[in-house]
Amino acid sequence: MKYRRVALIGLGLIASSMAHAMRAKGLAGEIVGHAKSAETRAVARELFCDRVCETAAEAVKGADLVVLCVPVGAMEAIAAEIGPHLAPGATVTDVGSVKQAVVDAVAPHLPESVHFIPGHPMAGTEYSGPRSGFATLFQNRWWLLTPPEGVDPEALSRLRGLIESMGAKVDSMNVAHHDLVVAVVSHVPHAIAYTMVGVADHMRRVSQSEVIKYSAAGFRDFTRIAASDPTMWRDVFLTNKDAVLDILGRFGEELSTLQRAIRMGDGDHLHAYFTRTRAIRRGIIEAGQDTAAPDFGRAVEGAEGG
- At residue 98's C-alpha, the angle toward residues 92 and 100, to 5°, is 75
Nearest to residue 134, comparing CAs of 171, 97, 166, 170? Answer: 166
Measure Cα distances from 14 to 18, 117, 121, 153 in Å.
6, 17, 8, 25
Residue 21 touching its own copies (CB under 8 A): no
Among 33, 138, 158, 162, binds its own copies (CB under 8 A): 138
CA 272 to each of CA 64, 180, 258, 278, 280: distance values in angstroms, whole numbers, following the listed order: 55, 27, 11, 10, 14
Question: How buried is 3 (Cβ within 10 angstroms: 0-12 exposed, 13-18 middle, 19+ buried)?
Answer: buried
Please give the residues from 180 up to 199 whose contact with its own copies meets the rule CB under 8 A: 180-182, 184-199
Is position 174 an interface residue for its own copies (rule: CB under 8 A)? no
Binding flag, residue 202, its own copies (CB under 8 A): yes
Measured between alpha carbons, how far is 285 from 159 in angstroms, rounded to an integer?
A: 29
* 20/120 with CB nearer its own copies: 120
Residues 285-304 binding its own copies (CB under 8 A) are: 287-291, 294-304
136 binds its own copies, rule: CB under 8 A: yes
Residues 6+ apart with CB under 8 A from 43: 11, 130, 131
3 binds its own copies per the rule CB under 8 A: no
CA–CA separation, 123 vs 18, rounded Å? Answer: 11
73-92 binders of its own copies (CB under 8 A) = 73
Question: Contacts with its own copies in 215-274 (CB under 8 A)?
Answer: 215-228, 230-238, 241, 244-245, 247-248, 250-252, 254-255, 258-259, 262-263, 265, 267, 270-271, 273-274
Minimum CB–partner distance for residue 178 and its own copies (Å): 10
Check residue 37 for interaction with its own copies (CB under 8 A).
no
Minimum CB distance to its own copies, residue 277 (Å): 4
37, 139, 157, 174: which one binds its own copies (CB under 8 A): 139
Nearer to its own copies, 33 or 167 (CB): 167
**For residues 173 and 305, what is the distance between their CA atoms, to the nearest angstrom?**
39
- Of 94-113, binders to its own copies (CB under 8 A) are 96-98
Residues 141-160 that bind its own copies (CB under 8 A): 141-142, 144
**Is 201 near its own copies (CB under 8 A)?**
yes
Q: What's the CA angle centered on 39, arms 35 and 42, to 5 degrees?
A: 80
Q: Which residues pair with 30 in a beta bridge?
A: 5
